[in-house]
Structure 1
Amino acid sequence: MKNKNTIIENAKQTILAESKAIANLVNFLNEDFKNAINFMHNSNGRIIVTGIGKSANIAGKIVATFNSTGTPAIFMHAADAIHGDLGIIQKNDVVICISKSGNTPEIKVLVPLIKNYGNKIIAITGNIQSYLGVNADFTLSSYVDKEACPNNLAPTSSTTAQVVIGDALAVCLLELNNFSSNDFAKYHPGGALGKKLYLRVKDLIEKNEIPQVSPSTLIKDVIIEISKKRLGTTAVIDANKIVGIITDGDLRRMLKDNSDISHLMAKDIMSINPKTIQVNEMAITALETMENNNITQILVKDNTTYVGVVHLHDLLKEGIF
């Protein structure tokens, strides 16, 4: 049994080997990369990404990245393609073919078939002198000196390099397409990521109570209002304007400093100029405001009208944190 102390060292060596391989890819960026990007950008078709073995797995990931960043893409397994799935490819589609060696039998059969259809091929290969590299219209090198695998056999650094080339293609197209965060939200409506991009403050407070007192409200009644509305705070409203805020913390400090509170009113303990946010602001903006000011609640306004409170717990419940 090998020494367990070598586990961390092996992990470090794997990460360092792959990071070195990735860093070296910048040396292979050339006119073919730029021309491939321009061709895809100007194409009226989709991006078909294909490969076999581990490269097929990478192809699936690249397709997902393209689709999530506004570039329509479809995965086509190289082996299935030569047994009937070539019908996936339409007239104006661009085919990205991924292969470390560039000389696998399936690739050698597939490439001329695609070219006979008149479609352009972008190769991502570790061997630009291979059959794929020579016959592609645009050849992008994903060459690595060696795999992170100690036997230099298992696809590790090479597949990571393929992923990175795919990411570079997707990001360049994203930039050319002026793909914005609002566009991104359309493709990611679910989960915390989507919520950060589309959820607004008004969505968070619609079921919340709206605690409020006047400056002359007695502290006893302030405590009742805060307890009843269960948001840990209340706004202090005068002539329909927010003039202050009282939180649980303000109440604790008041009780510490005063033995008799019967004469105290809201105006005596409220904090003036509280942080506020407009009802149509993004929920993520509310979180950033809370973090920057070390607070857990923000009063919400619709223009100048007080409409409620957004609490840190509202954001936590939605997974925005």
Structure 2
Amino acid sequence: MKNRTVINIAEVANRTLSLEAAAISELRQYINSDFEQAVELIAHCAGRLVVSGIGKSAIIGQKIVATLNSTGTPAIFMHAADAIHGDLGMIQEDDIILCISKSGNSPEIKVLVPLVKNFGNKLIGMVGNMDSFLARESDLVLNTTVREEACPNNLAPTTSTTAQLAMGDALAVCLIEWHGFTAADFAKFHPGGTLGKKLYLKVGDLSRLHKAPQVQRNSSLKEIIVTISSGMLGVTAVLEPDGTLGGIITDGDLRRMLEKNIPAESVTAENIMSKYPKTIQEDELAINALEKMREHDITQLLVLRDKQYIGIIHLHDLIREGII
């Protein structure tokens, strides 16, 4: 086993990041008419974008496909090596092909490209060698040329794959804006996990999990305590005679009342309630409830349907759902 070379780890890491950052910055000179036409071609595509590549470029291709699919542009991945052994059958008449390669001269690419062109599909090449077979044969070229790899031997794909990834993101973001893809659209494709819940989970979805604890203005202290205890939320709403919301009583309000040594038998809800409770509409996003709780340093909000009190959303609901 070779002796380990002593290196300055921070220096090597910083050099790597500097090289890759510079490569991404230099990509701006390659945002040209071919790039613009590629965006328009994909945006108007009646089929899908079929992304292909070999080696590390194939891995980048899979990530680009994932990004496109999640943002409203139908895409599939086809490995260049598998394509010539049967996977070409996945290409449909209206599909567009995006082939990714650093050299543009890989044997698999040289076999694949003529086959794609025989099908009559438009071919976009994302390539780091403008004198390559792929660059010459593509209908449109996305130039991802880099000066050098971050690898000290200038061999392992590092800077080049970073450039491919960044160019793919630029393509995807242009398509997002082209189609007017919104956060609501994004939520449709991301229903699972914390991200999805932040985008679609509504206040009403959580408040319905609880009863809506409530007392009247003239309710006794015993009624208040029983209501708060049975609701297990540490709070109850106080309603006016006409059913509208009049206030809120928390377990903290009860403690502060007891500290004043007021005769318990004479206490009613209106004596201890806070008249201006913090509220939120049931159709608002749950993440907005969290922001409001943080803003006012509280742990629950009364939920309204228009002006009608219908329940409570508690901080614990948001924690349980992974919103926090």
When the two structures are superposed, what TM-score results if normalisation uses the length of structure 2? 0.92
User: Deviation at 1:14?
Assistant: 2.8
Q: Which SS does the other structure have where 1:153 is aligned?
A: coil
The aligned counterpart of 2:217 is 215
Partner of 2:52: 50
* Alignment partners' CA distance in 2, 1:64 and 1:214: 54
Deviation digits for residues 64-99 of structure 1 (CA, Å, limit 9, x no counterpart): 111111111111000111222211111111000000
Q: What are the ranges of 5 or more consecutive residues in structure 2 without an aligned counterpart?
A: none
Aligned to 1:316, which of 311, 315, 319? 319
Residues of 1 paired with 2:224 and 2:21: CA distance?
59
Q: CA offset at residue 264 of structure 1? A: 3.3
1:86 aligns to what? 88
Pick aligned residue for 1:190 from 192, 217, 238: 192
Provide the C-alpha distance between the structure 2 equivalents of 1:261 and 1:157, rounded to a whole number of angstroms.
76
Counterpart in the other structure of 1:32: 34
SS at 2:129's partner residue?
Answer: coil
Q: 1:306 matched to which residue of 2?
A: 309
Letter of the aligned partner of 1:284 in structure 2? I
Q: How many residues align?
A: 319
User: Secondary structure at 2:248's aligned position in 1?
Assistant: strand
Q: What is aligned with 2:248?
A: 245
1:261, 1:197 → 2: CA distance? 49
Q: After TM superposition, give the deviation of residue 266 of structure 1 in Å.
A: 2.4
How far did 1:312 drift?
1.2
Counterpart residue identity of residue 304, structure 2: K
| Aligned counterpart, 2:25 | 23
Q: In the alignment, is residue 73 of structure 1 matched against residue 88 of structure 2?
A: no
1:251 Cα offset (Å): 3.1
Aligned-pair distance for 1:253? 3.5
Q: Residue 151 and residue 265 in structure 1: after superposition, are their counterparts in 2 closer, same or farther (change >3 A)? A: farther
Mapped to 1, the partners of 2:9 and 2:215 lie a distance apart of 61
The letter for the 1-side match of 2:318 is L
Residues 21-79 of structure 1 show CA distances to partners (whole Å, capped at 9, x for unaligned) of 22221121101000111111122121000000010111111111111111111110001
Q: Report matched runs for 1:78-117 at 5 Å.
A: 78-117=80-119
2: distance between equivalents of 1:7 and 1:215? 68
CA distance in 2, matches of 1:201, 1:62: 34
Relative to structure 1, is the Cα distance of residues 79 and 267 closer, same or farther in structure 2, using a 3 angstrom cutoff?
Answer: same
Mapped to 2, the partners of 1:16 and 1:294 lie a distance apart of 42
1:10 deviates by: 3.4
CA shift for structure 1 position 3? 5.6
Is 2:295 the partner of 1:292? yes
Would the aligned equivalents of 1:128 and 1:140 in 2 still touch at CA under 8 Å?
A: no
Distance 2:147 2:254 in 1: 66
TM-aligned CA deviation for residue 9 of structure 1:
4.0
SS at match of 2:161: helix
Deviation at 1:2, TM superposition (A): 5.5
Cα distance change of structure 1 residues 10 and 252 upon mapping to structure 2, 3 Å threshold: farther
Match of 2:173 among 171, 174, 188: 171
Pairwise CA distance, 1:206: 1.7
- Supply the distance in 2 between the matched residues of 1:320 and 1:158 (Cα, whole angstroms): 37
CA contact (8 A) 1:219 1:261 kept: no
Matching residue's letter, 1:250: D
Deviation at 1:267, TM superposition (A): 2.1
Contact 1:92 1:119 survives alignment (8 Å): yes
CA positional deviation for 1:220: 4.2
Deviations 1:100-126 (A, max 9, x none): 111111111111111111111111111
Relative to structure 1, is the Cα distance of residues 302 and 107 closer, same or farther in structure 2, using a 3 angstrom cutoff?
Answer: same
Distance (whole Å) between structure 1 residues aligned to residue 155 and residue 47 of structure 2: 37
- In structure 2, the CA distance between the partners of 1:51 and 1:290, relative to structure 1 (3 Å rule), is same
- Give the drift of 1:228: 1.8
The residue type equivalent to 1:42 in the other structure is H
Output the CA distance in 2 between the equivalents of 1:173 and 1:129: 28
**C-alpha distance in 2, partners of 1:39/1:252?**
67
Distance 1:254 1:60, change over 3 A: same
Change (3 A) 1:10 1:40: same
Among 137, 152, 155, the alignment partner of 1:153 is 155
Q: Compute the displacement of 1:140 (Å).
A: 0.8
TM-score by length of structure 1 reads: 0.93
Rounded Cα–Cα distance in structure 2 between residues aligned with 1:249 and 1:204: 23
| TM superposition shift of 1:261 | 5.1
Q: Distance in 2 between matches of 1:75 and 1:261?
A: 75
Partner of 1:162, secondary structure, is helix
- Contact persistence 1:108–1:132 (CA under 8 A): yes
Asked if the contact 1:50/1:97 (under 8 Å) is kept, the reply is yes
